[in-house]
Amino acid sequence: MLERYRVRRLRAALLALTAAGGLLLTGCSAGDGSNSGGYKADDASNGNALPAPDYHNSSGGTGEQKGTDDSDDSDGSDDPDSREFAPAPDYLSTFALDVDTASYGYARRTLAEGRLPDPSTVRPEEFVNSFRQDYDRPDGNGFTVTVDGARTDREDWSLVRVGLATRPAEDPGERPSAALTFVIDISGSMAEPGRLDLAKDSLGVMANRLRDDDSVAIVTFSDEAETVLPMTRLDGNRDEIHDAIDSLEPTDSTNLGAGMETGYETAVEGLREGATNRVVLISDALANTGDTDADTILERIASERREHGITLFGVGVGSDYGDALMERLADKGDGHTVYVSDEADARKVFCDDLPRNIDLTARDAKAQIAFDEATVSDFRLIGYDNRQVADEDFRDDSVDGGEIGPGHTVTALYAVHTRPGTSGHLATASVRWLDPKTRAPHEESGRLETGSLHDSLGVASPRFQVTATAAYFADVLRDGDDTRSSLPGTPSLRELEETAEELAKETEDRAVRQLAEAIGQAGWAMD
């Protein structure tokens, strides 16, 4: 029943505490910046030459989320809700940046059909990263770092938001030319309405919006793979490209491995120096012929990926969707994934969000958050479970990170338990990345003090509240029948729906309205 998921009443808590403390190339908010200053490293050719931020504790570690308190037993450690918060005895959290949103998109599709998503497909960071944020943007290339937080109704527990943002693509004429190889699933399962038909319509619109100096190749796969269109410039060839798109028809089984191999071979044959070279995979990822394991598929195309720097963008479709395979391909293929369920989603991905989904601002980007042992007893990173990086590898630029485009924001949400009665420095967040062209490393950091924490979620910015609501929603969906929550004070779905509805009115944001609808649908599915 819905009520079994109740731990705290979020809306009531917001009001009570308020009273007490007073997200390819030609696209169709600002915070107060008070916590986005701090350490900044100069450019360097050798990552080891960069000085370390002034961490209170920089002891290295395994890359897990951690923090322990040996001083006393009064921090709620006996509460089953908090037992998962202290897996290792150090205060660093390091992970590869990730801008995937497919998990949330697929959950919305599943809930709209009256079904609950499989908990294994629910990745909280993809829920959080599906919404617009209020971070300052940098004036040039690179990132801004914003760190803020709010206290919750659980004693000494706060939510801390680490926000990283890149500058939006402003002038389409300034971007590099694009060489895009579309690898399109035409297997029998793609005949379902909302799969291949949606992909064809989207590609047709996109082909009209690309510049004359851009290039497109099309590879299809079912039981075999075929290059339908070699790398072709848009200038004077748009009709040929449209004809190739219109000719696509579903047939036979799904040999995704063959499609990926042929796609990368086609991309290498059509490689353009100085251009953005990317493979765009459009599939329901229900591989049933040939190689069906992501690691095996990626190993076959490893040299093309590494030698030529070709990145992958995965677009998932279909009510039955191979989420795990697509997500693994994107994570290990130097790219990211989205999920498209209808025409509005497709237009957003292939038109409105085209620049940030294809162009690159940063390669191998990683984040490292150092919590201060003097003020923090426990902490937990919400999500990013398969994006962890060993702490000591933060400045090892040979270790894979995430690829980020213009106009992207990346949000990491932490549940943080502060030591009672302490004040001062709480955390320093750093981001490190490589310039896509020169491979030179860069860093930027931001700090958060305990005194900068909002007294409650209710007085935090609306965008912070949306972030918290999305994370709590994912928490409920992922926990299923487990009444113990991984987040402090997770409310019921009914309360989350009420909160999302209020935030939708306040922000006038269609995406937040859709969040409220999805939460309501989850409530019906759980009844």
The residue behind tokens 């009531």 is 12
For residues 245 and 226, membership in a common domain is answered with yes
Nearest CA-CA partner of 340 in 517, 191, 196: 196
The pLDDT value given to residue 297 = 87
Decide if 355 contacts 28 (C-beta within 8 A): no
Domain final residue pick, 358, 393, 426: 358
For residues 334 and 190, membership in a common domain is answered with yes
Nearest CA-CA partner of 11 in 499, 518, 500: 499
Q: Copy the structure tokens of residue 81.
A: 């809700």
For residues 367 and 468, membership in a common domain is answered with yes
The whole-model pTM stands at: 0.81
Instruction: Please give the residue range of the domain that contains residue 273.
Output: 178-358
Decide if 375 contacts 418 (C-beta within 8 A): yes
**Position 10 in a domain:** no
Nearest CA-CA partner of 512 in 475, 479, 457, 468: 468
Domain final residue pick, 332, 358, 384: 358
Amino acid 190 reads M
For residues 381 and 522, membership in a common domain is answered with yes
Per-residue pLDDT at 362 exceeds 70: yes
Decide if 464 contacts 135 (C-beta within 8 A): no
CA dist 521 and 370 (Å) reads 38
Whichever domain contains 458, its CATH number is: 2.60.40.1230
pLDDT tens for residues 297-325? 888 777 777 788 888 999 999 888 999 99
The pLDDT value given to residue 36 = 33
The pLDDT value given to residue 366 = 98
CA dist 139 and 141 (Å) reads 7
CA dist 497 and 330 (Å) reads 31
Dihedral sign (CA 483, 488, 489, 494): negative
pLDDT tens for residues 216-254? 999 999 999 999 999 999 999 999 999 999 999 998 888
SS3 200: helix
Arithmetic mean of pLDDT, 503-508: 98
**Position 134 in a domain:** yes
Phi/psi for 459 (5° steps) reads -105, 0
For residues 375 and 405, membership in a common domain is answered with yes
For residues 425 and 490, membership in a common domain is answered with yes
**Position 230 in a domain:** yes
Q: Please state, as a whole number, how many other Cβ atoms lie within 10 Å of the Cβ of residue 299.
A: 12
For residues 300 and 443, membership in a common domain is answered with no
For residues 119 and 184, membership in a common domain is answered with no
Per-residue pLDDT at 64 exceeds 80: no
**Position 220 in a domain:** yes
Report the side by side order of strands in the sheet with 336-339: 225-233, 215-221, 178-185, 276-283, 311-316, 336-339
**Position 398 in a domain:** yes
Decide if 127 contacts 468 (C-beta within 8 A): no
The pLDDT value given to residue 480 = 52
The pLDDT value given to residue 359 = 86
For residues 115 and 217, membership in a common domain is answered with no
Per-residue pLDDT at 4 exceeds 50: no
Q: Band of the pLDDT at 485, cuts 50, 70, 90?
A: low
User: What are the angstrom distances between the C-alpha of 486 and each of 2, 256, 263, 415, 483?
Assistant: 18, 36, 41, 9, 10
Amino acid 316 reads G
The pLDDT value given to residue 65 = 39
**Which residue would you say has higher pLDDT here, 109 or 176?**
109
Phi/psi for 159 (5° steps) reads -105, 125
Q: Please state, as a whole number, how many other Cβ atoms lie within 10 Å of the Cβ of residue 342.
A: 12
**Position 367 in a domain:** yes
CA dist 79 and 77 (Å) reads 5
Dihedral sign (CA 176, 431, 409, 82): positive
Q: Copy the structure tokens of residue 444.
A: 């930027």
CA dist 282 and 316 (Å) reads 6
**Position 11 in a domain:** no
CA dist 474 and 522 (Å) reads 11
For residues 494 and 405, membership in a common domain is answered with yes
For residues 313 and 395, membership in a common domain is answered with no
Arithmetic mean of pLDDT, 280-292: 88
4-18, 83-97, 275-289: range with highest mean pLDDT? 275-289
Q: Which residues of 31-51 are buried (b: 16+ CB within 10 A; e: fewer)?
A: beeebbebbebeeeeebeebe
Would you call 178 exposed, middle or buried from its count of C-beta atoms within 10 A (0-12, 13-18, 19+)? buried
Domain final residue pick, 331, 358, 385: 358
Decide if 27 contacts 352 (C-beta within 8 A): yes
Whichever domain contains 264, its CATH number is: 3.40.50.410
**Position 259 in a domain:** yes
The pLDDT value given to residue 495 = 94
Decide if 406 contacts 359 (C-beta within 8 A): yes
For residues 109 and 164, membership in a common domain is answered with yes
The beta-strand segments (E) located in 405-510 are: 409-418, 425-434, 441-449
Total domains in the fold of the chain: 2
